[in-house]
């Protein structure tokens, strides 16, 4: 992930020293190569992390003298040949960098390019003739994009430090966003922890000129309905798209690595890549890296070993070390990001450290399998409205909810009719992250919740576009999952600081569009989640992995890290408690429940109380101290 940024000043007089400060604020990119372009009204900067053959040696910001347009591009284009064919005569050569193809396609199609562009991207195009800035993000949003209004125009960047430390944007915090974070109910798409820094949501476009700054969602469908495909057609189509995604994400300037956790999704990435190598469709097998936790319930050793035996490989082991709070504090101070979660630090962070030491720059993951392939029951109302009663009854009865035929049938009909006739039931289906009474949770101080309008923030949370099919509305939420950036922007920044780009084949735009329209009965059948993936991977995955229905519980590393921190800084001393945001007694009670569970070896189901609340509070305390400088 490269870092891009810029300042637009409609009055003229962009300071090149500020561009240098923005580049310097990018978080320690390995092999970073900063460059900029300044025409007085627009200054653009890019700190390079070249991970594709075409990106090696490219010059950004990329300028086209004929059109007077300049692009800053962070990302990867996965349908390069298709785009070049659509551009037609005058298309960049086959070996052109991705940014050149995107700029040429933008000049050919304008905003219409976005529906045609497949890949992982965030970019900004400056038109010097019209003095207009256009910025866009890919549908899933694995390339951050932040912006802030300034006295003379607008500043943007992919990293918060580039705006705050580089462009001089205020460090004032946004308590409303903090309230959502501490409540573990994060819904805002545009607000950040910084009061004056906004986020361009995934699948959105920002256009700025001297008169206005405006944003809109460009990803609005429609999405094709594949629900009438047969089982075999579903499997064939999925395999075709998954293979295409694996090949696309393996395009690299050097060897590629894959994170092998032993779970169904990461194992599918590794095993299917092995099949593609055997078939001559992939040049080389990714080197695999696995995090191990000897003696802990979250250790996935036997599943990893099964994949190793299946593919005839040996995965590099990295050991999940004890969380280093000093390192986390330095990270937040340097980057202005929240500290990484301990479960992430013990897996992806450790893997990136190993990649960095071995000069590897691309890591494939299984991220996205849970999002797109788990399935749900929002398609039941669609079957009812379409008059497909046999399919509805078959799928409902096979779901297994209830002890007898009559009970399962009642549940099926209720699940189909309820969301149609009841707005409350419909909201529960389409917005599962808000499936609760709209009231502040008991660990949030009531007066503070009222002051920041916390309940109103949830009530006014953005809704997905309206589609004809309820299943499309439910699945679209994955594209706009607001809490994703709270959990991953710091991870992406850390990986980039180690010269590593994370890539996620399951989030390929072509694959996700198919998942949007796939039959709900193919995603979940007979109570088995990811049914389509399991069937598609038959013969590729070891059977013990293909048929596993559990997942590793990564709660123990989080608890251990929090316990270490609380020994140094008790709950009563945490800034969110001292500020009157969090109820210390309730937080202590949640901590005590999980301490008892951990004392028993962290086996069995953890307590129902959300331990993420304790982590969020402790992590925010550190962030307020070292990034915001407010404790």
pLDDT at position 445: 96
pLDDT at position 599: 83
> What distance in Å separates the CA atoms of residue 503 and residue 179, rounded to the nearest whole number?
31
Residues of the chain falling short of pLDDT 50 = 436, 631
Measured between alpha carbons, how far apart are the two ends of the chain, in Å?
Answer: 32
Question: How many other CB atoms are found less than 10 A from the CB of residue 212?
Answer: 7
Rg, Å, the chain Cα set: 24
pLDDT at position 404: 84
CA atoms within 13 A on the CB side of 122: 23
Q: CB–CB of 92/83 below 8 Å?
A: no
> What distance in Å separates the CA atoms of residue 299 and residue 547, rounded to the nearest whole number?
18
Closest C-alpha among 277, 189, 185, 133 to residue 463: 189
pLDDT at position 574: 97
Helix (H) or strand (E) holding 381: helix 379-385
pLDDT at position 30: 56
Which residue in this structure is represented by tokens 């897996």? 347
**Which residue blocks in 205-252 are alpha helix, DSSP H?**
231-249
Apex 85 CA angle, 83 and 89, nearest 5: 115
pLDDT at position 430: 79
pLDDT at position 434: 58
pLDDT at position 432: 62
pLDDT in tens, 120-175: 999 999 999 999 999 999 999 899 999 999 988 999 999 999 999 999 999 999 99
> What distance in Å separates the CA atoms of residue 171 and residue 322, rounded to the nearest whole number?
31
**How far from 217 is each of 15, 115, 125, 146, 187, CA to CA, in Å?**
32, 12, 17, 16, 16
> What distance in Å separates the CA atoms of residue 496 and residue 30, rounded to the nearest whole number?
7
pLDDT at position 630: 60
pLDDT at position 31: 55
Contacts of residue 608, Cβ cutoff 8 Å, sequence gap at least 6: none
């Amino acid at each position: 992930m490269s870092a891009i940024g810029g300042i637009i000043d409609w009055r003229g007089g962009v300071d090149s020293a500020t561009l240098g400060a923005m580049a310097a604020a990018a978080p320690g990119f390995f092999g970073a190569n900063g460059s900029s372009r300044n025409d007085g009204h627009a200054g653009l900067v890019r700190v390079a992390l070249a991970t594709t053959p075409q990106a090696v040696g490219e010059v950004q910001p990329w300028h086209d003298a004929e059109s007077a347009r300049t692009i800053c591009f962070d990302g990867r284009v996965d349908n390069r040949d298709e785009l070049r064919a659509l551009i037609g005569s005058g298309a960049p050569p086959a070996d052109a960098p991705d940014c050149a193809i995107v700029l040429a396609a933008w000049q050919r199609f304008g905003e219409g390019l976005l529906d045609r562009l497949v890949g992982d991207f965030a970019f900004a195009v400056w038109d010097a003739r019209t003095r207009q800035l256009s910025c866009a993000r890919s549908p899933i949003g694995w390339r951050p994009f932040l912006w802030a209004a300034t006295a003379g125009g607008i500043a943007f960047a992919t990293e918060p430090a580039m705006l705050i430390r580089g462009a001089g944007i205020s460090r004032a915090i946004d308590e409303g966003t903090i309230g959502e974070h501490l409540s573990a109910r994060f819904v805002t798409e545009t607000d950040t922890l910084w009061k004056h820094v906004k986020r361009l949501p995934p699948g959105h476009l920002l256009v700025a000129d001297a008169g206005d700054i405006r944003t809109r969602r460009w990803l609005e469908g429609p999405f094709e309905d594949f629900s009438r495909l047969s089982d075999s057609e579903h499997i064939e189509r999925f395999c075709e798209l998954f293979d295409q995604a694996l090949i696309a994400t393996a395009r690299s300037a050097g060897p590629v690595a894959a994170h092998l956790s032993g779970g169904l999704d990461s194992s599918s990435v590794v095993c299917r890549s092995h099949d593609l190598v055997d078939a001559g469709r992939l040049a080389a097998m990714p080197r695999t890296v696995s995090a191990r936790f000897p003696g802990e319930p979250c250790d996935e050793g036997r599943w990893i070993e099964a994949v190793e035996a299946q593919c005839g490989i040996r995965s590099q082991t990295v050991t999940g070390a004890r969380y280093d709070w000093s390192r986390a504090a330095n990270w937040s101070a340097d980057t202005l990001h929240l500290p990484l979660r301990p479960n992430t630090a013990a897996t992806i962070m450790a893997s990136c450290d190993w990649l960095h030491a071995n000069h590897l720059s691309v890591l494939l993951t299984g991220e996205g399998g849970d999002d797109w392939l788990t399935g749900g029951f929002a398609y039941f109302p669609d079957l009812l409205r379409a008059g497909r009663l046999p399919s509805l009854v078959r799928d409902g009865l096979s779901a297994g909810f209830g002890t007898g035929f009559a009970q399962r049938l009642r549940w099926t009909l209720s699940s189909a009719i309820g969301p149609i006739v009841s707005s409350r039931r419909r909201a529960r289906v389409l917005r599962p992250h808000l499936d609760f009474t709209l009231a502040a949770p008991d660990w949030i101080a009531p007066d503070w919740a009222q002051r920041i309008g916390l309940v109103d923030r949830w009530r006014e949370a953005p809704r997905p576009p309206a589609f004809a099919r309820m299943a499309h509305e439910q699945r679209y939420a994955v594209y706009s999952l607001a809490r994703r950036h709270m959990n991953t922007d710091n991870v992406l920044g850390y990986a980039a600081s180690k010269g590593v780009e994370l890539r996620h084949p399951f989030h390929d735009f072509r694959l996700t569009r198919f998942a949007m329209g796939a039959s709900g009965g193919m995603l979940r059948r007979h109570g088995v989640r990811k049914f389509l993936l399991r069937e598609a991977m038959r013969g590729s995955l070891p059977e013990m992995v293909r048929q596993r229905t559990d997942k590793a519980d990564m709660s123990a590393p989080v608890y251990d890290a929090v316990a270490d921190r609380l020994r140094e800084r008790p709950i009563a001393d945490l800034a969110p408690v001292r500020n009157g945001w969090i109820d210390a007694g309730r937080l202590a009670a949640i901590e005590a429940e999980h301490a008892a569970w951990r004392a028993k070896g962290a086996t069995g189901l953890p307590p129902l109380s959300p331990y993420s609340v304790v982590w969020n509070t402790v992590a925010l305390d550190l962030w307020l101290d070292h990034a915001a400088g407010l404790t």
